[in-house]
Amino acid sequence: MTSESTPPVEAPGRRTVVAAVGAAGLAVALTACGSSDDTSSSGGSGTQAGANASGGGSGSGSGGGTALAKTSDIPEGGGKIFKDRNVVVTQPAAGTFKAFSTRCPHMGCAVSSIAKGVIVCPCHGSQFSVEDGSVKKGPATSGLTAEKVTVSGDSITLA
């Protein structure tokens, strides 16, 4: 009786082991799915954190006084346009630096070049003085908005 009953017990035992492995495999698969869901949801919050971080970064970039250029980058009697900062820096006289918004007050184009003491808007040809941003030639009726820059040593910083 005992020797007869032993083999049937072993057989189900093996099946149980196989089934358990199968279940474990499923559990692993489910866990993997679960963890990938977790990853994507935490990725979402990670993106938000990244957006916040970059927002803070650009905020400090535009208002935090990061170096814009070297004084030697700005030609005397002319200037240089920093498109990514939306600012144009001029040096009307040796050692005197001015900065203006690149946004043309006429219809909002970005000024694109500086020649012969004027900053030129490519859209309708308005020209602005490198000295104070005032209108030299229309159709713009008001000058460029002044921006604040600080010169420290040979480095120009957008305030």
CB atoms near residue 119 (< 10 Å):
26
Q: Is 103 in the site for ligand FES (CB under 6 A)?
A: no
Measured from the CB atom, is 135 or 158 closer to ligand FES? 135
**Beta bridge mates, 118:** 115, 129
Contacting residue, 17, 21, 107, 159, with ligand FES by CB under 6 A = 107
CA nearest neighbour of 70 among 82, 84, 61: 82
Place of tokens 């799915």: 33
Q: Which stretch binds ligand FES (CB under 6 A): 28-36, 40-48, 88-96, 122-130?
A: 122-130
Q: Is 151 in the site for ligand FES (CB under 6 A)?
A: no
What span, in angstroms and rounded, lies between the C-alpha atoms of 28 and 35? Answer: 10
Using CB under 6 A as the binding rule, whether residue 130 contacts ligand FES is answered as: no
How many residues bind ligand FES (CB under 6 A)? The answer is 12
Mention every residue, 6+ apart, whose C-beta is less than 8 A from residue 41: none
- Give the SS3 label for residue 151: strand
SS3 at position 132 = coil
Q: Which two tokens stand for residue 31?
A: 């866990």
Q: Does 139 bind ligand FES (CB under 6 A)?
A: yes
Does residue 106 touch ligand FES according to CB under 6 A?
Answer: yes
Q: Specify the residue, 112 or 150, whose C-beta has the smaller distance to ligand FES.
A: 112
Q: Minimal distance in Å, beta carbon 86 to ligand FES? A: 14
Q: Interface with ligand FES includes 137 (CB under 6 A)?
A: no
Residues that bind ligand FES (CB under 6 A): 104, 106-109, 121, 123-126, 139-140
